[in-house]
A and B are shown apart, each in its own frame.
Chain A
Amino acid sequence: MKLKKGSPLERIYNGVWRENPTFVLMLGMCATLAVTTSAVNAIAMGLSTAAVLIFSNLIISALRKLIPDGVRMPAYIVIVATLVTVVEFLMHAFLTDLYDALGIYLPLIVVNCIILGRAEAYASKNPVLSSVFDGLGMGLGFTASLTIIGLVREFIGSGTLFGFTVLGDWFTPVSIFVMAPGAFFVLAIIAAVRNVIVRPHVRENAINEISCGGNCRYCSGTLCAENHRRLREDETSASAPKATEKEAKS
């Protein structure tokens, strides 16, 4: 598929598939593990994050020439925190059940790597329209992956899908899958599948790349940006594996 760089469709394709935040980049793990006990919670979390992401990308991209470089992180954090508070209010007013179910993970969207990562890696350097669609693509990708994980955990852990019982009485739910350890196991399986499927160089430092160097703040600044770059490089130089080897050595 050949799409124009920065066009709305290319951005959405990029977010949902090529650089899927959960399955490819492995960002925002805290939220991913914590709220995927059921598909409904997962969708709610995904959509809230998507909403924050779209608007933060919009605002940050619009202000990208006004925000001085030295204070950009605090500025981004204030913008994101404001948006998260708005989302929190809306959820509290109209979707109280979900608000209660998501608990402190809703305000914690502020420190979700995806949001500051996209602000730093994309919105701060690109025009408004592309940034909005970048946010939309990443948000949809995040929502889709959370929903998939939520469905798997809900199905195995309580025998339901979206709250409807699908399996008969013969099925004994493996309730550990809706508890904390199950989250780790499901993610471990996903990461193992990803290890096999995703391009080889990404698995070289499999442990570091999720951690963003252990620092959400520099998410896009160090290792994640490095991953983005490598992903891109890999696509262009798929036929020349020697270049990647050289790079790995240096």
Chain B
Amino acid sequence: MKIILLTIVTTVLIDNVVLSQFLGLCPFLGVSGKIKTALGMSGAVVFVMALSSFVSAVIYELLLKPFDLGYLRTIVFILIIAALVQFVEMVLKKFIPALHQSLGVYLPLITTNCAVLGAALKNVQDGLNIGMSTLAGTGTAIGFGVAIIIMAGIREKIEGNDVPRAFRGLPLALMTAGLMAIAFMGFSSLR
């Protein structure tokens, strides 16, 4: 029980995927303009990342490891993720149109998102088993969601402010991210 809790706290807050590992930075900066889109994006990421960490862990444990094919993991994982996203999109479209409506736009956006692949690779590197991999993957995705939603909230607030011209747009977003990263560094004492 303790290790489960620790994994969640670590992946969501301490080793936050965006703010301390710089993964998934593209959507973090690109889709964080509005809270609503940020919510949709984080929903899609949680969904795909939980699924992809599970599937890639299963394939790694049951297929690559027994046959000593660990070196193929980069190729295999990226193909799994790409196929999985397409598959999830088709399934959702066919069976749960309501969910597809709200997540659909964001799903193709994460096919080759480095956070998804990064989470899968990191699980292997840390030598986690299937259950822990899924948990860590989900935690990482929630961490992404937390970061992007906070970011969107801040950006909605500062949108109308009079910012020096040079800092409009991206630089301001990056400064905000930097300040958020400092705040998140505070969590490292939880470890």
Residues on A facing B (Cβ under 8 Å) = 26, 29-30, 33-34, 73-74, 77-78, 81-82, 84-85, 88-89, 103-104, 107-108, 110-113, 116, 176, 179-185, 187-189, 191-193, 195-196, 203, 205-208, 210-217
Q: Does B27 contact A (CB under 8 A)?
A: yes
CB atoms of B118 and A77 under 8 A apart: no
Give 4 nearest A-B pairs by CB, closest first: A211-B30, A206-B169, A184-B178, A188-B174
Known: A184-B175, A214-B31. 7 other contacts (CB 8 A): A34-B23, A111-B112, A182-B178, A192-B166, A192-B167, A211-B29, A214-B27
CB atoms of B112 and A216 under 8 A apart: yes
Chain A residues with CB under 8 A of B21: 34
Which B residues between 1 and 46 are near A, CB-CB below 8 angstroms?
19-27, 29-31, 33, 41
| Contact residues on B (Cβ < 8 Å of other chain), bracket | 35 or more
CB atoms of A181 and B185 under 8 A apart: yes
1/0 contact trace for B108-140 toward A, CB 8 Å? 111111100110011001000000000000000
CB atoms of B71 and A85 under 8 A apart: yes
**Residue on B nearest A209 in the bound complex, by CB:** B170
Give Cα distance in the complex from A203 to B167, angstroms: 10
Known A-B contacts A82-B75, A216-B114; the reply to A189 vs B30 at CB < 8 A is no
* Interface residue from B27, B78, B117 paired with A211 (Cβ < 8 Å): B27
CB atoms of B19 and A180 under 8 A apart: yes
CB atoms of B167 and A184 under 8 A apart: no
CB atoms of B111 and A215 under 8 A apart: yes
CB atoms of B121 and A107 under 8 A apart: yes
CB atoms of B74 and A110 under 8 A apart: yes
1/0 contact trace for B165-180 toward A, CB 8 Å? 1111111111101110
CB atoms of A29 and B22 under 8 A apart: yes
**Residue on B nearest A206 in the bound complex, by CB:** B169
1/0 contact trace for B59-81 toward A, CB 8 Å? 00000000000011111001100
Give Cα distance in the complex from A67 to B168, angstroms: 42
* Interface residue from B71, B75, B181 paired with A89 (Cβ < 8 Å): B71
Q: Does B82 contact A (CB under 8 A)?
A: yes
Chain B residues with CB under 8 A of A212: 26, 30
